[in-house]
Amino acid sequence: TSAYPLYAGLRSAIALQHEWGTIEERYAEICRLSKYLWQHLSEISHVECLRTSSPEAGLVSFRLTNGMPHKQLVDLLEKQGIMVRTILNPDCVRACVHYFTTEAEIDKLVGEIAIQLV
């Protein structure tokens, strides 16, 4: 049987996606925000981005070079309402942005990382 209430939710979700723009516009925004995050992370002492150029998608991975365990940073950020995750191979932290992520949210992430590494 079909779950018609779920169909209504799906239609609403698809309509919301279209309000953000075309597929190309949404992808361009993801790339712009990834670059924004990558650039700002690259400026933090004791943070090493895994890529040498900005990502082509919404995933930005980085390592800590001050000896702090990645899990410790992830746990501290979670207490601030910021969700990132550890990756085991390669050992790093991964942040994810989407087209609906705001620059203010990225600034909060970067700021909290900088505070934790002082």
Q: Does residue 1 surpass a pLDDT of 70? A: no
Burial degree of 8 (CB within 10 A; 0-12, 13-18, 19+): exposed
Q: Which residues contact 44 (CB under 8 A, 6 or more apart)?
A: 110, 113, 114, 117
CATH homologous superfamily for the domain 23-116: Aspartate Aminotransferase, domain 1 (3.90.1150.10)
pLDDT of residue 3: 82
pLDDT tens digits, one per residue of 41-97: 999 999 999 999 999 999 999 999 999 999 999 999 999 999 999 999 999 999 999
pLDDT, tens digit, 9 for 90 and up, residues 42-56: 999 999 999 999 999
- Give the global pTM: 0.89
